[in-house]
Amino acid sequence: MSDGSRAAWLRERNPLPDGTLTVGAGLIINGVTAYAFLGLAGRSLGAEAFEPLSVLWAMIYLLSPGFFLPLEQEVSRALANRWARGVGVGPLINQAGTIGAGLLGAVLVGTIIAGPFLVEHLFDGQVMVLVGLLLALTGYAAVHLARGTLAGLGRFRGYAAYYVYENTLRLAACAVLVVAGVDTAGPYALVVGLAPAFALACAMRKERNLVSPGPAAPRSELTAALGSLLFASLFSAFLLYGGVVAVSLLAEEDQAGDASVFLAGLAIARVPVFLFQAVQAALLPKLSALAGAGRFADFRTRLWRLLGAVAAVGAAGVLGALLLGSQVIHLLFGSDYAISSTDLALLALSSAGFMLAVALGQALIALSAQSWVGIGWLVGSIVFVVVTALGHDLFLRVEAGMVAGSVAAALVIGGLAEIRLHARLVEPAH
C-alpha cells in the first residue's frame, strides 16, 4: 500500500471528523487556561466570595449555547451544503447576522428584566456581575455566528484560534486583578464577560474571503429548523450547567459557598465534554455531507464508530474522576473546595451520558430531523427536575438528577435517530 493510499485508508477508518484535531488543539489550550483562571480566581476569592462568579460562569454557559448554538449549527449546516455545491454563501451569512441580532436583543431584554432577581438571589447583590453576564451574552452571540461560518467553510484554524485566545485573555486579566488585591467577584465578572469579543477579534484577523456572492437565501434555508434547535439547545444547556444554579438556589444559609465547590467538581468532571466540542464542531458538516449524498450506510458506520469512541472517553472520565478528581481539585482550587470522589464520579457519569446524547442529536440534525432532537432534551430536563426534587442531600440530589436526565436524553434521542436513519436506509426500495 502506498503512503498516499495508506493515509486515505486511515482517514476513512478514523471515527473522528476532519477538523477535530485542529479544533481539539485549540480546546486543550482553552481548557488549561480556563481551569487556571477558575483556580486562580477561586483561590484568591475563597469559596464564599467566589460563589457569584461560579453562578455567573454556569449561567453564561447555560444561556449562551442555549440561545446561540442553534444559530451556529444551522449556519454550519447550511454553509457546508452550499459550499459542497459550489454556491456562494454571502446572502446566507447576512441573513444569519440579522437573525442573530434579533435573538440577542430578545435575550438581553429578558436578562435585564430578570436582573433584580438575579442580583439579589444569585449574584450576592453585585450589579457588576449582572453587567458581566450581559457583556458575555453579547460577545457569544457574535462568536457563535462566526464559528458556524468558519466550521461550515472548513476554516478550522480560525475556529481553533478563538479557543486559544478566549481563556488566555481571561487568565492574563485575572492575574492582574489578583496582584491588585481585588477581593470581590464583580471585576472578575467583567473579565469573564469581555473576553469573548476580544478573543473573536484576535481570531478573525487573518480570515479572508468568507463572504462570497451567491443567490438569495430563502428564509427556510436557515430558519426552518431554528425554533426546534433553540428548544433543544436550551434544555440541553440546562442539563449541562443547571446543576450549579440548582445548588445555589437549594442551599441553606449554612451552605454558603457550596455552589463554588460544586462548580469546581463539575469543571473537573466536564473535561471530556469540553474536549468533545472539537468533535461536535466538525461532526455536523461531515454527517450533513454524507446525508446530502445519500450515503446512509456510511453515515451509520461513521456514527457507530464515533459513539464507541465517545463511550470509551466517557468511561475513562468516570474512572479518572473517581481515582484522581479530589486530588486535582485540591491542587487547583485549594482546601476550601472539598468534594468526594463519589460526587465527582457521578458528575463524570452525567457527562458521558450528555456526550452520547449530543452525538446522537447531531445525527438527527444531519438527517433533517431537527424537530425531534428537542424531545429527548425535554424528557431529560424533566427527569432532572423530578429526581432532584425527590432528593434531600444537596449535592447527591442534584448529581442523581443530572445522571438520570442525561441518560434519559441519550436513550430517547438514540431511539429517534435509529427510527429516522432506518427510514432513510429503506427509502430507495420504494
Which residues 6+ apart lie within 8 Å of 277 measured at CB? 23, 27
C-beta of residue 248 within 8 angstroms of C-beta of residue 129: no
| CA distance linking residue 163 with residue 170, whole number of Å | 12
Q: Kindly report the number of other CB atoms within 10 A of residue 419's CB atom.
A: 12
Q: Kindly report the number of other CB atoms within 10 A of residue 49's CB atom.
A: 19
C-beta of residue 372 within 8 angstroms of C-beta of residue 227: no
Residue 86 carries which DSSP code?
T
Q: Which of 425, 129, 175 is nearest to 291 (CA)?
A: 425
Surface-to-core class of residue 209, CB atoms within 10 Å of its CB (0-12 exposed, 13-18 middle, 19+ buried) = exposed
**What would the grid cell of residue 173 be?**
486579566
Q: Which of 342, 325, 338 is nearest to 257 (CA)?
A: 338
Q: Which of 120, 111, 131, 11 is nearest to 66 (CA)?
A: 111
C-beta of residue 195 within 8 angstroms of C-beta of residue 170: yes
Q: What is the pTM of this model?
A: 0.81
**What would the grid cell of residue 345 be?**
464520579
| CA distance linking residue 327 with residue 341, whole number of Å | 9
**What would the grid cell of residue 357 be?**
446524547
Determine the pLDDT at residue 378: 95
Residues of the chain whose pLDDT is less than 70? 1-20, 83-84, 87-89, 208-224, 275, 277-285, 427-430
Q: Which of 376, 362, 412 is nearest to 69 (CA)?
A: 362
Determine the pLDDT at residue 137: 97
Q: Which of 210, 196, 204, 240 is nearest to 79 (CA)?
A: 210
Q: Which of 425, 404, 310 is nearest to 362 (CA)?
A: 310
Q: Which of 343, 420, 315 is nearest to 375 (CA)?
A: 420
C-beta of residue 221 within 8 angstroms of C-beta of residue 82: no
Give the torsion through C-alpha atoms of 41, 47, 48, 49, to 10 deg.
Answer: -10
Q: What's the distance, CA 269 to chain centroid?
A: 14
Determine the pLDDT at residue 10: 40
| CA distance linking residue 61 with residue 58, whole number of Å | 5
- Taking CA atoms, 263 is separated from 139, 193, 269, 310, in Å, by 23, 18, 10, 23
Over residues 285-298, the pLDDT tens digits come to 677 777 777 778 87
| CA distance linking residue 274 with residue 276, whole number of Å | 5
Determine the pLDDT at residue 3: 46
| CA distance linking residue 126 with residue 50, whole number of Å | 12
Residue 255 carries which DSSP code?
G
**What would the grid cell of residue 185 be?**
467577584
Q: What's the distance, CA 298 to chain centroid?
A: 27
C-beta of residue 325 within 8 angstroms of C-beta of residue 269: yes
Alpha helix stretches (DSSP H) within 85-217? 90-121, 127-152, 156-179, 185-203
| CA distance linking residue 200 with residue 148, whole number of Å | 13
Which residues 6+ apart lie within 8 Å of 127 measured at CB? 119, 186
